[in-house]
């Protein structure tokens, strides 16, 4: 997936969830939009490099959008949560996810379930795929989801368990958007209920997949991402 043209700055602070102040290379300070409502643990440290895109929409209050963080240890993280589904859709279309390569028809945002949910992708009307953007890296180098309690995520696991019990295929696809993550665990210490529902879902046939994004650069600037590398779900 090609990224929009990116510029860089240094993070001063993130606040009110949707805003961040950065310092540009020329010393100027500006405010940008943060398209991530999560805790962003480890993704918003003061002094990190912020890679941002520019909108040409004159109605926007903030023209700049935070796309990637480059940490002071050199890891790249995609913090724009909208990119996760775009990456997965590209991967499905190109058969990069081996476990899901048998399907031909891809539908996005399809209503389903008793709790009035929307599945991220419905494949051939019989395989339900829920995407979870994962950016939390622990000190041991393990990626984890969620990074905060997620009632919405709990609901999705209940829905997928029901789907599997009805004889359909149900999949949770953790899209790993942090270059430093090489294995994955559910964050039981952050959301024990989500972890419990995840175990129940697996026992009922819900499949858990983890694929990691590869970041591509040109002249040092990130230009593209691809979701091609499977990693271990521990």
Looking at 53, 78, 103, the residue that finishes a domain is: 78
**Where are any strands of DSSP class E within the chain?**
7-15, 19-23, 29-33, 49-54, 64-70, 76-78, 106-112, 117-123, 127-134, 136-137, 142-145, 169-176, 183-186, 207-218, 221-230, 232-233
- Res 161: pLDDT: 98
Q: Is the pLDDT of residue 126 over 90?
A: yes
**What domain range includes position 112?**
82-233
Same domain, 203 and 225: yes
- What rounded mean pLDDT belongs to the chain? 96
48: left (phi over 0), alpha (psi -120 to 50) or beta: beta
- Res 141: pLDDT: 84
Same domain, 125 and 176: yes
Q: How confident is the model at residue 139 (pLDDT cuts 50, 70, 90)?
A: confident
Looking at 59, 78, 97, the residue that finishes a domain is: 78
Q: Is the pLDDT of residue 140 over 90?
A: no
Q: Are strands 221-230 and 142-145 parallel, antiparallel or unpaired?
A: unpaired
CATH code where residue 111 lies: 3.40.1350.60
pLDDT, one tens digit per residue, over 69-99 is 999 999 999 999 999 999 999 999 999 999 9
What percent of the chain is modeled with pLDDT above 70? 100
Residue 74 inside a domain? The answer is yes
Residue 1 inside a domain? The answer is no
Q: How confident is the model at residue 66 (pLDDT cuts 50, 70, 90)?
A: very high
Q: Is the pLDDT of residue 38 over 90?
A: no
Same domain, 118 and 225: yes
CATH code where residue 14 lies: 2.40.50.580
Same domain, 74 and 88: no
- Res 234: pLDDT: 84
Count of structural domains within the chain: 2
Q: For the chain, where are the alpha helices, taking DSSP H only?
A: 82-93, 151-165, 192-203
Same domain, 103 and 205: yes
Q: Is the pLDDT of residue 37 over 90?
A: no
């Amino acid at each position: 997936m090609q990224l929009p043209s990116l510029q860089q700055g240094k993070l001063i602070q993130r606040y009110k969830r949707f805003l961040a102040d950065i310092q540009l290379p020329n010393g100027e300070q500006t405010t940008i939009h943060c398209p991530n409502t999560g805790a962003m643990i480890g993704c918003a440290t003061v002094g990190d490099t912020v890679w941002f895109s520019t909108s040409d929409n004159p109605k926007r209050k903030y023209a700049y959008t935070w796309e990637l963080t480059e940490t002071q240890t050199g890891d790249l993280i995609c913090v724009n949560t909208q990119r996760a589904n775009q990456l997965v859709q590209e991967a499905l279309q190109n058969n990069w996810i081996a476990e899901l390569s048998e399907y031909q028809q891809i539908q996005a945002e399809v209503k389903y379930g008793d709790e009035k949910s929307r599945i991220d992708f419905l494949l051939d009307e019989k395989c339900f795929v829920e995407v979870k953007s994962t950016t939390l890296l622990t000190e041991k180098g393990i990626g984890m989801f969620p990074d905060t309690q997620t009632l919405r995520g709990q609901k999705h696991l209940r829905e997928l368990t029901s789907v599997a019990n009805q004889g359909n295929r149900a999949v949770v696809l953790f899209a790993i958007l942090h270059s430093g993550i090489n294995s994955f665990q559910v964050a039981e210490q952050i959301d024990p209920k989500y972890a419990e529902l995840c175990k129940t879902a697996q026992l009922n046939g819900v499949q858990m997949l983890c694929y990691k994004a590869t970041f591509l650069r040109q002249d040092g600037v990130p230009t593209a991402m691809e979701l091609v590398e499977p990693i271990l779900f521990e």
